[in-house]
Amino acid sequence: MSLRSFVTIVASPRPHVGRTLLARMLVDYHLNGERKVAAFDLNARDAALAAFQPKHAIYSDIGEIKGQMALFDALVADDGVYRVVDLGPDAFEKFFLVAQDIRFTDEARSRGVAPVILYPITPDTASVDAYAALARLFPQATLVPVHNEMLGPAQHRDKFPPHGKGAALLHVPLLAPGLRRVIEQRPFSFIETSGSAAADVPLDAHIEIQRWLRKLYLEFRELELRVLMADLQGSIQR
Amino acid sequence: MAKPTVILVGADKGGVGKTTVARTLLDYFVAHQVPTRAFDTEAPRGTLKRFHPDLTEIVDVTQVADQMKIFDTLANSNATVTVIDVRAGLLSPTLKSLTEIGFLDSAKKGQINFAVFHILGPSIASLNEIAETAETVGDANYFLVKNFINNTSFFEWDPATYSSYFNRIKGAQDITVAKLNEMACEQVEVAGTPFVSFVANKGPNGEAANYSFVLRGYVRHWLGNVWSEFDRVKLMDLVGSDTGTQSAAAS
């Protein structure tokens, strides 16, 4: 079945790795492409994504089965909507436990939804082990290691080999600390600036942020194209 | 042709998940392409028949005419396996009746494969039934089924109590049926389909349905675990079927 949309899970068992920033940028990337997008914030501690993107992101609690149904039934919906999940340490284990039990990635693919996991890499053992487990348990997903340049050089990227169709290392470019403070005001959308703190950003900062955004959008676009090409090649070979 | 196999699924207490286990057995044999039939003794309305209408007939196992319907047709039925879902409280009396009509003798002589799935409840009273049932089971394949319909532990935390019941009968084997989420359970009940159909997102007549993907996933995972238990006790070897296929396990 040809892929019609993506569900991207931005996941890390560690806090403060740039996960929510990545999820936010993804939401804006889809909006920039005039796509329908829905985002799910699974972080009970601060639900930051829902605060930054209140029009498109909601907080989801998967502690009970009703919450799991509300989330996962939506994630595999074949309706052309692009979905983003911000998954931090609070719900990391539970999410992937449920996903494994219900064969989430298999179902997504069968419905034309490409399951992609973006995983900000850090050198600690817990992160390395969790990444290896995801690669083993979800062969149908595209597992993408993300190097967030704001965390420093990625000297440990050999421990995070890309897995799955179209996977390759993805870079989040460096953004100057001053500009980072600008984009950390809530709510903030780069695309829907009305009602967002982005409306008040000075012009020079705006230009620098746009340059940074274009680099990141290029990374997202190349990832999408690789996944779609790999899927197409797979279809032709069958 | 394979020797006929009769599987009695019973409990001396109600509400322990007896019909649920009978349903998993029917799905298991159908998935293994073993010709199967079932008798639902919850006359007149039945409970098992609602989920497997094509395989199941409602009978009153206390009536001679219905006993003849079940046991006189074993040899010439197209079904290799006959599953009998015995009404709660009638397991021991049914076994006694089978003794009286010579059925257990036939099993002893190897003319029929016979198995008892004794569904246990999480109480000492239920465990006490094991000894009573074991007296009449004789040489049948005796399976003690721990159906975790709630968070019971079946006294596993107390090895002495556990051993006194579960190790009492020589040759008896444990089968564990893990707990299925209540909402998933209820949805299958409402759907009125076999577990396998629910997982496949099909309605009672095979039509496309719209069940929750999450609940289907949980049922698939649970059913796979139950079937793994059936594989572990070599249920297909007991049936003596030569289909030779591995468990389809809700794939």
- Please tell me the distance from the alpha carbon of residue B57 to that of residue B39, in angstroms, as a whole number: 5
- Which segments within A90-221 are labelled E, that is strand? 113-120, 142-148, 170-172
Can you say whether residue A164 is alpha, beta or left, with left for phi > 0 and alpha for psi between -120 and 50 degrees? left
A151: confidence class by pLDDT, cuts 50, 70, 90: confident
A153: confidence class by pLDDT, cuts 50, 70, 90: confident
| Domains of chain A, earliest start first | 5-237 (3.40.50.300)
Which residues is A84 bridged to in the sheet? A8, A39
Higher pLDDT, A194 or A135: A135
**Domain membership of residue B130 as a residue range:** 5-179+224-239
Greatest mean pLDDT among A59-68, B75-84, B114-123 lies in A59-68
| Interval B30-47: pLDDT, tens | 999 999 999 999 888 889
Chain A contact for B222, CB < 8 A?
no
A65, A66, A102 member nearest B213 (Cβ): A102
Alpha-carbon dihedral of residues A123, A128, A130, A135, nearest 10 degrees? Answer: 130
B245: confidence class by pLDDT, cuts 50, 70, 90: very low
Closest CA to A139 of A95, A89, A104: A104
> Has residue B251 got a pLDDT over 60?
no
Q: Which residue of B has its CA nearest to A70?
A: B214
For range B101-109, the mean pLDDT: 84
Phi, psi of A221 (to 5 degrees): -65, -45
What is the number of domains present in chain B? Answer: 1
Q: Is residue B219 part of a domain?
A: no
Query: Over chain B, what is the mean pLDDT?
Result: 86
Q: Is residue B142 part of a domain?
A: yes
Chain A contact for B221, CB < 8 A?
yes
- Please tell me the distance from the alpha carbon of residue B118 to that of residue B122, in angstroms, as a whole number: 13
Lowest mean pLDDT across A124-133, B61-70, B181-190: B61-70
Q: Is residue B166 part of a domain?
A: yes
Cβ distance A65 to B221 less than 8 Å, yes or no, reads no
Cβ distance A102 to B220 less than 8 Å, yes or no, reads yes
Distance from CA of B216 to the nearest CA of A (A): 7
Q: Is residue B164 part of a domain?
A: yes
Q: Is residue B189 part of a domain?
A: no
Q: Which residue of B has its CA nearest to A67?
A: B214
Residues of B in contact with A73 (CB under 8 A): 212-214
Chain B contact for A72, CB < 8 A?
yes
Q: Is residue B247 part of a domain?
A: no
ipTM of this predicted complex? 0.84
A238: confidence class by pLDDT, cuts 50, 70, 90: low
Cβ distance B217 to A103 less than 8 Å, yes or no, reads yes
Show the DSSP H helices in A86-176 as ranges: 92-101, 104-110, 125-137
CB A85 within 8 A of CB A10: yes
Cα–Cα–Cα angle for A76, A80, A81, nearest 5°?
A: 75
Cβ distance B218 to A76 less than 8 Å, yes or no, reads no
pLDDT score of A188: 74
Lowest mean pLDDT across A192-196, B15-19, B105-109, B111-115: A192-196
State the DSSP code for B86: P
pLDDT score of B246: 40
Best of B181, B188, B198, B213 to disrupt the A interface by mutation (most A CBs within 10 Å)? B213
| Alpha carbon distance, N-terminus to C-terminus of chain A | 11
Q: Is residue B88 part of a domain?
A: yes
Q: In chain A, how many H helices and how many E strands?
A: 8, 7
Residues of A in contact with B181 (CB under 8 A): 65
> Has residue B248 got a pLDDT over 80?
no
Find the CATH number of the domain harbouring B41. Answer: 3.40.50.300
